[in-house]
Structure 1
Amino acid sequence: MTTRGNVIGVDIGTTSTKAVIFGERGKVIASHAVDYPIIKPHPDWAEQDPDLIFSAVVESISIAIQNANILPHDILALGFSTAMHSLIAVDQSGQPLTRSIIWADNRSVKQADRLLKDMNGLEVYKRTGTPIHPMSPLPKLLWMKEEAPELFQRAYKFISIKEYVQYQLYSTYIVDHSIASATGLLRLDTLDWDEEVLQLVGISRDHLSDPVPTTHILIGMKQEFANKMGVSPDTPFVVGASDGVLANVGVGAISPGEAAITIGTSGAVRTISPVQKTDEKGRTFCYALTDNHWVIGGPTNNGGILLRWLRDEFGSPEREVARKLGIDPYELLTQYAEKVPAGSEGLIFLPFLSGERAPYWNANARGTFFGLSLHHKREHFIRSVMEGVCMSVYAVALAIRDLTGPIQEIRVSGGFAKSPFWRQMLSDMTGKELLVPESHEASALGAAAVALYAIGEIDSLERIKDWIEIKHHHVPNKENTSVYLELFYMYERLYNCLKDEFDAIAAFQRKL
């Protein structure tokens, strides 16, 4: 597959926005990323500055174009990928009344619990495809209505960070079906707002943007921002989808039986189905991509952020040694973990330092080391943390298998994919061969593919596989798989035994 020019995939993520310029056959011509912080003004809160993120979008595109040394007429289109579940209240002039409340925010735990137990939450999930959890805008809106009623009443619109960016550029309120289907407010069968849920929250459809397909094209960007970016105002701006569903496209996990596993700051397992599917137990999500592509999967809260936690809070010696050796501290942590056999000699880690989403959807879950004895050393803790992340991902994969059938092929992406050791561990955990694409820019590449599809440069998303080269593959070690299977069942039993205690300790922590 070849194209007439360059396409830009923009990935608005949790910790940074990256613009990636792709040329012929998906070759990366240039890229640039701009970081921004997560603001935590209170326990369980997680927010970001929407204007800082908008500036990051403009800057990342501008510098990527400068680095590529291309002109506006060399750009076919821009496609956008965005993290899900953000919520911003804005006034009538489009000014934010709140920061962007992101997926990691757990302030609406009580509202989510009440939705699930007393407000027919499981049926709401079955209609909308979004599990009932504080991550999603539905319980966040209920929290705002109950805890900040004056703000709630003042709001003109409730939007996501992508809608905020689009409004700044085009002065229009639209939301793609993918982002909308992750709000808990959109019916999957009609791809329109669910009137019953809106009444439950106490808002009307006028408080929300107009839903549009992921291939919807905007033209006529404000000249000021087009000049800053280095694009033409009439360059097609394809609204795109959420980062999770686009990661599947970007690694080529598009056909039934193919799964994508992403472990970055958090993690996720996803597969694409030609039809909508929700889970009777409410364990998985169902989000829109196109009319005949529905992404079934589940996210985990705890991925690479746990290694960062280890490095920052307990890894001072490793950081100092790594500095002297001129290597990445993560590389040193991994070398220590490699000294320990699979299973960490019976040290099991429940990796719920940020609560957990799929498959348990329990914001009160907490991290737990189990099986600790005097023979366990520093390296055992490091390996058990890495194994705990893999176990949480495997639990999601099993829930998806129950819904969609056997997973035949796994393709991986995210920061963890840079570690051969961690990739092999996941292969051993799942008992499946892992394929590692050449590019780690899965969501940006998926956004670029949807943009090309929208403007007619490719006739199907499946054509993106022509761009994807497999750089590595891992075959599971059967002995390690046997060890992990035994420990995984113990991991699940531990979670179930500790559910009540998680509630108790979470309530205690919220009083501090």
Structure 2
Amino acid sequence: MSSEFFATIDIGTTNIKVAVFDQNGNKLFDFQRRCAESSKSDAHEIDPEKWWKVVVQAFHTMDENLRKKITSICATGQGPTTVLVDKNGNILGKAITWLDKRGYEHINSIIEKGIDEQIATVISHLLTVRNTINEAYLIQPSDYIILKLTGLIVNATFPFEGYLPWNERVLRIFNLNKTFLIPKLVPAGTPVGKIKKETSKILRINDQAQVIAGAPDFAMALIGTGTIEDGILCDRGGTSQGLTLCSKKKLCCQGLMTTPFFIENHWKISAVMTTTGKSYEWFSRNVTRTRLVELSQLITVKRPTGVIFLPHLNGERSPYWNKDLKGVFFGLTLKEDWRSLLVSVIEGVAYAMKNIIEIMESCGCKINIIRATGGQAVNELWNQIKADVLGKEIEVSQIFDSELLGCAIISISALSGESFVDLSKKIVRISKVFTPIMHRHNEYQRYFQVYKELHERNIDLFSKL
């Protein structure tokens, strides 16, 4: 396999990423292009064809010699985002992203029926649009890429609870099963089929390339960070935030999700926060009016800032599952400037993480290692603030785009026969460890108590807004 290369695709909420890896997990090609959703009132949608156009553009920028050696393609993506297609694979309207708040008035009543919070989000969307649809297959963003590559309508993921945002039982409960159909499940790490000849010509790659089933981005990130042992927690920070703990114990925590891990006799205890990285982007674009803030502009800001930020700019999922929560800056004085406020945004995200981790630990979860990945992990100040607020070391992998690396590991496993768990242990490399500065941690402890009280004291006011 020394001459084989593995193409990977990540359909993110904000960015589309394409990369090519060799069999040792070295990244040979890297492409990223912004492709954000459109929003109107509570609706957050995007045309899936935009994703495909960016993917085609990425392959066209590759060196020809690299393209010729691609033997497989594996895709992952955001979720729970719903793409509706008919039996011929034609798109039925825009994809409904996880940021969409239509139907959220049904969320609590859905959850009360014992439905997983993530699935409840999707059901609320389907209840909203069902009268406009006669019949549709439910697929996710990465499944749409598989459809474009192979012509096949499938759900590619791990065959366990918690890896698909829908199931037949729940659809029946809400009389949605005749309108919305679930396609064949192809387990992650198995070949879906060869790329279509016409598609191979469009991408300018070998028409013998295999398309390998991936899984949602959080699952690929677990493999790409080596979060495959008891007590390791993956902090996946992008537009939103996902915290997933690998645990040998099945522990149920209020506001969090406990479902089977893809490793036998292990469980994943998960939390998802809605607008963490999005808050940083919002402040940078709308307040500082710049797309990129240099780290040097923030490093001199005194920390803790003393300003408490609640990062709930589009309601919040874990642990509150409350669409009415709003963003807050608390503690402003005349001395604040945009730099200190932007740092307080980072601190607010770290407080939100600490709140989740405290819930996990209070339930009996053991957290030995925290591994950060995604866009936030590129920012050294952000990593250090997380370490300081949590009072725990933060490990950062050599490959920040762990979702893409996870796809590569899954592909190598599919073509070589070697376990992806063993490959993950060999390929994932830690590049840096951030150690908490304890005097700052002690100060952050005091501000964290204020962070929690802000929620408790203002719940009724959020709904009045």
After TM superposition, the score normalised by the length of structure 2 is: 0.91
Whichever residue aligns with residue 408 of structure 2, its letter is: A
Distance 2:106 2:288 in 1: 37
Name the counterpart of 1:189: none
Shift in Å, 1:305: 2.1
**SS of the counterpart of 2:63?**
helix
Shift in Å, 1:6: 1.6
1:372 equivalenced with 2:332 (yes/no): yes
1:296 equivalenced with 2:296 (yes/no): no
Distance 1:347 1:10 in 2: 38
Name the counterpart of 2:345: 385
Shift in Å, 1:429: 1.0
Name the counterpart of 2:300: 339
Relative to 1, partners in 2 of residues 1:31 and 1:425: Cα closer, same or farther, differing over 3 Å? same
**1:54-75 CA distance string (max 9 Å, x none):** 2323332443xx3262354x33
Name the counterpart of 2:166: 185
Return 213-222 or 99-108, whichever deviates more: 213-222
Return 277-286 or 228-237, whichever deviates more: 277-286
Matches within 5 A, 1:54-453: 54-63=52-61, 66-67=62-63, 69-70=65-66, 72=68, 74-116=69-111, 120-121=112-113, 123-125=114-116, 130-131=117-118, 136-145=121-130, 149=131, 151-152=132-133, 154-178=134-158, 181-186=162-167, 193=168, 195-204=169-178, 207-273=181-247, 277=250, 279=252, 281-284=254-257, 286=259, 289=262, 294-316=267-289, 319=290, 329-331=292-294, 334-344=295-305, 346-403=306-363, 405-453=365-413
Distance 2:46 2:379 in 1: 29
- Are the aligned partners of 1:7 and 1:23 in contact in 2 as well (CA < 8 Å)? yes
**1:371-413 CA distance string (max 9 Å, x none):** 2233434333222111001111222223333456221111111
Distance 2:251 2:182 in 1: 24
**SS of the counterpart of 1:381?**
helix
- Are the aligned partners of 2:254 and 2:359 in contact in 1 as well (CA < 8 Å)? no
- Are the aligned partners of 1:278 and 1:286 in contact in 2 as well (CA < 8 Å)? no
List gaps (5 residues or longer) in structure 2: none
Shift in Å, 1:224: 0.7
**SS of the counterpart of 2:234?**
strand
Shift in Å, 1:279: 2.6
Percent same amino acid among aligned pairs? Answer: 23
- Are the aligned partners of 2:84 and 2:139 in contact in 1 as well (CA < 8 Å)? yes
Distance 1:278 1:405 in 2: 7
- Are the aligned partners of 2:253 and 2:360 in contact in 1 as well (CA < 8 Å)? no
Distance 1:165 1:340 in 2: 43
Return 17-26 or 196-205, whichever deviates more: 196-205
Relative to 1, partners in 2 of residues 1:209 and 1:273: Cα closer, same or farther, differing over 3 Å? farther
Distance 1:399 1:498 in 2: 20
Relative to 1, partners in 2 of residues 1:162 and 1:101: Cα closer, same or farther, differing over 3 Å? same
Relative to 1, partners in 2 of residues 1:303 and 1:91: Cα closer, same or farther, differing over 3 Å? same
Shift in Å, 1:132: 6.0
Relative to 1, partners in 2 of residues 1:254 and 1:182: Cα closer, same or farther, differing over 3 Å? closer
1:48 equivalenced with 2:46 (yes/no): yes
Distance 1:207 1:241 in 2: 19
Shift in Å, 1:341: 2.9
**1:271-320 CA distance string (max 9 Å, x none):** 22467x4635242353754656653321211223222222222214xx4x
Shift in Å, 1:197: 4.0
Return 10-19 or 383-392, whichever deviates more: 10-19
**1:5-29 CA distance string (max 9 Å, x none):** 2222221211222221111421111
Distance 1:71 1:379 in 2: 43
- Are the aligned partners of 1:131 and 1:285 in contact in 2 as well (CA < 8 Å)? no
Name the counterpart of 1:13: 12
- Are the aligned partners of 1:29 and 1:68 in contact in 2 as well (CA < 8 Å)? no
Distance 1:267 1:451 in 2: 26
Distance 1:24 1:92 in 2: 37
**SS of the counterpart of 1:481?**
helix
Relative to 1, partners in 2 of residues 1:100 and 1:269: Cα closer, same or farther, differing over 3 Å? same
**SS of the counterpart of 1:272?**
strand
- Are the aligned partners of 1:297 and 1:396 in contact in 2 as well (CA < 8 Å)? no
Whichever residue aligns with residue 52 of structure 2, its letter is: F
Name the counterpart of 1:28: 27
Name the counterpart of 2:458: 498
- Are the aligned partners of 2:410 and 2:420 in contact in 1 as well (CA < 8 Å)? no
Distance 1:77 1:137 in 2: 31
List gaps (5 residues or longer) in structure 1: 187-192, 320-327, 506-512
After TM superposition, the score normalised by the length of structure 1 is: 0.83
**1:67-114 CA distance string (max 9 Å, x none):** 262354x33422221111111222343222210011111112112133
Relative to 1, partners in 2 of residues 1:284 and 1:68: Cα closer, same or farther, differing over 3 Å? farther
Shift in Å, 1:216: 2.7
Whichever residue aligns with residue 293 of structure 2, its letter is: Y
Whichever residue aligns with residue 58 of structure 2, its letter is: S
Relative to 1, partners in 2 of residues 1:378 and 1:53: Cα closer, same or farther, differing over 3 Å? closer
Whichever residue aligns with residue 286 of structure 2, its letter is: E
Which of the two has greater helix per residue? Answer: 1
**1:28-74 CA distance string (max 9 Å, x none):** 1112234323111x2121111111212323332443xx3262354x3
Distance 1:376 1:438 in 2: 35
Relative to 1, partners in 2 of residues 1:182 and 1:466: Cα closer, same or farther, differing over 3 Å? closer
Relative to 1, partners in 2 of residues 1:220 and 1:132: Cα closer, same or farther, differing over 3 Å? closer
